[in-house]
Amino acid sequence: MTEPKPVVMPEEFPEKLRDSLVLIGGAVLVGVLTGLVGVAFLRLLELGNDWRIELTAALRGWPAGTGLTVLALGTGACAAVAAWLVKRFSPNAIGSGIPYVEKILRGPGEPNHAWVLPVKFFGGFLALSAGLVLGREGPLVQIGAVIGERVGRLFKKVENVWKPLMAAGAGAGVANAFNAPVGGTLFILEEVLRKVTPIGFVLVAAAAISSAFVQRGVFGMGMDFRVADVAAGPVPNLWIYLVFGMALGGLGAFYNRLLLGLASPRNPLQKISSPIRAFGIGAVVGLVAWFLPNDAGGGDPLTQQVLQGYGSIGLLLTIALARFFLGPLSYAAGTPGGLFAPAVALGALLGAAAGLGFHEISPHLVPSPLAFAVAGMAAFFTASIRAPLTGIVICLEMTGCFELFLPMLAACAGSYLAATLLRSEPIYDALAKPVTT
């Protein structure tokens, strides 16, 4: 019995110019389709988050304890249904989905995308709308990957071309999640493929640009965050960002270990049936959200508030502490949902708190605490995911704070160094590893 032929990712375009142009057209189609589905998903999430906030406000008028109970049961039920959809229809749709996409694109195997798209779409909507501390990029990356793989199968004359088109769809998903086409392209090259090839770069860039055209040109969606002018401070203060980044690198390493421990099949929590486990975790998130509403959800509204100067040092650290544990706990629920957005929000909280402290000590060296909030977004992402260039570029695209490039670079360098010295694996690599007994 002969073994199946390994599926190898092509690195060069086909020899015929016509075939190459058709493939680029295919990547544009993948980007447009991913953009359309992604905009629908993002708009639906906005409605879901609004419904949760309005429901919470209405329940506060109920008799003591009744509203809190209803909220906890409601968030638990939504999380349970999301986990049930994964378990019943598409186990490959669990969690972020990025480790699965990386495994397929780097390895020789074929994907099993049966029911992944609808489960990611509707399961992700339920989990994120319920307030689980998960990111929208996980569902969108895997949705884009499915679209790219399906379109790629249409090109039967070019061997294994579905792989670069699958990568293109994943890049379009990242671009759509954060309205960041450059960062989406870089994420696939730096983190997923870990190499730059002619066919990979061009097709991913074409898909990301097409997705951005749909998102910005057709639906008029602008940058994720609005940030006032932020002063980086004098150049000699870059060492402060480096030290700050090293501190976040240590916290990011601990965050990864906590997440991996809770998500490990050997953890007693994972022995519980996923819908029941998700119900309990969703109820816990609902209870916390009742007292700390900003601790629920992926964190975009919270990040926007932080970037507008929200909160004292104590309040910022309190919210950050709760989200530090709620994020890994939410991921352990087994629903669709990513890691990227919560990491960015956590970095903004920790950075804003540090910036306020530094500003009180030396207003000259740190004229704007918000500079540390923006740098913290990229630095904590770097500590967890270990893709510093992607983190810097996406955060720059989301905020428009291009004058903070050097501080962000210093913070990410410190974060990368600390996490590496602590032997902390990049989170997606660790999640993709098979479990050993």
Segment 360-405, tens digit of pLDDT: 888 887 888 889 999 999 999 999 999 999 999 999 999 988 888 9
From-to residues of CATH 1.10.3080.10 in the chain: 17-218, 235-432
- 327 neighbors 261 (Cβ within 8 angstroms): no
Two structure tokens written together for 284? 């816990």
For residue 129, the surrounding DSSP H or E stretch is: helix 124-129
pLDDT at 1: 43
- Amino acid present at 331: Y
Residue 203: CB atoms within 10 Å: 32
Phi, psi dihedral angles at 336 (to 5 degrees): -65, 145
Looking at CATH, the fold of the domain delimited by 235-432 is given as Clc chloride channel (1.10.3080)
Max distance between CA atoms of the chain, in angstroms, equals 73
CATH annotation of 17-218: 1.10.3080.10
pLDDT at 299: 86
Is the alpha carbon torsion for 393, 177, 414, 365 positive or negative?
Answer: positive
Length of the chain measured in residues:
437
Contact indicator for 138, 336 with CB cutoff of 8 Å: yes
Q: Give the DSSP letter of residue 111.
A: P
pLDDT of 3 reads 54
Distance CA 137, CA 145 (A): 12
Amino acid identity at 26: G
Buried/exposed 344-364: b ≥16 CB within 10 Å, e otherwise = bbbbbbbbbbbbbebbeeeee
Copy the structure tokens of residue 306.
């932080």
Backbone φ/ψ region at 297: left (φ over 0), alpha (ψ -120 to 50), beta: left
Distance in angstroms (rounded) separating the CA atoms of residues 351 and 401: 15
Beta-strand ranges (E) seen in 155-310 are none
d(CA 298, CA 18): 43
SS3 letters across 344-375: HHHHHHHHHHHHHHHHHHCCCCCCCCHHHHHH
- CA 297 – CA 346 distance, rounded (Å): 12
CB–CB of 269/62 below 8 Å? no
Q: For every one of its 437 residues, what pLDDT tens digit does the chain have, with 9 covering 90 and above?
A: 445 567 777 888 888 888 889 899 999 999 999 999 999 999 999 999 999 989 998 998 898 789 999 999 999 999 999 999 999 999 999 998 899 999 999 888 888 888 999 999 999 999 999 999 999 998 999 999 999 999 999 888 777 789 999 999 999 999 999 999 999 999 999 999 989 999 999 999 999 999 999 999 999 888 778 887 777 777 778 899 999 999 999 999 999 999 999 999 999 999 999 999 999 999 999 999 888 877 888 888 888 889 888 888 999 999 999 999 999 999 999 999 999 899 999 999 999 999 999 888 888 878 888 899 999 999 999 999 999 999 999 999 999 888 889 999 999 999 999 999 999 999 999 998 765 44
* CA 132/CA 295 separation, integer angstroms: 9
Cα–Cα distance for residue pair 13/430, rounded to 1 Å: 32
Paired with 135 in beta bridges are 338
Residue 279 host element (H or E)? helix 274-291
- Is the Cβ–Cβ distance between 98 and 135 less than 8 Å? no
User: d(Cα 310, Cα 294) in Å, to the nearest integer?
Assistant: 11
* Helix/strand/coil for 181: helix
Of the candidates 18, 15, 41, 13, which has an alpha carbon nearest to the alpha carbon of residue 165?
13
Phi-psi region of 423 (alpha: psi -120 to 50; beta: other; left: phi over 0): left
Whether the CA torsion 432, 385, 121, 290 is positive or negative: it is positive
Virtual torsion, Cα 422, 427, 433, 437, nearest 10 deg: 60
CA distances from 74 to 81, 86, 136, 280, 342 (A): 11, 19, 20, 11, 22
Residue 150: count of CB within 10 angstroms of its CB: 17
Q: Is 42 exposed, middle or buried (0-12, 13-18, 19+ CB in 10 A)?
A: middle
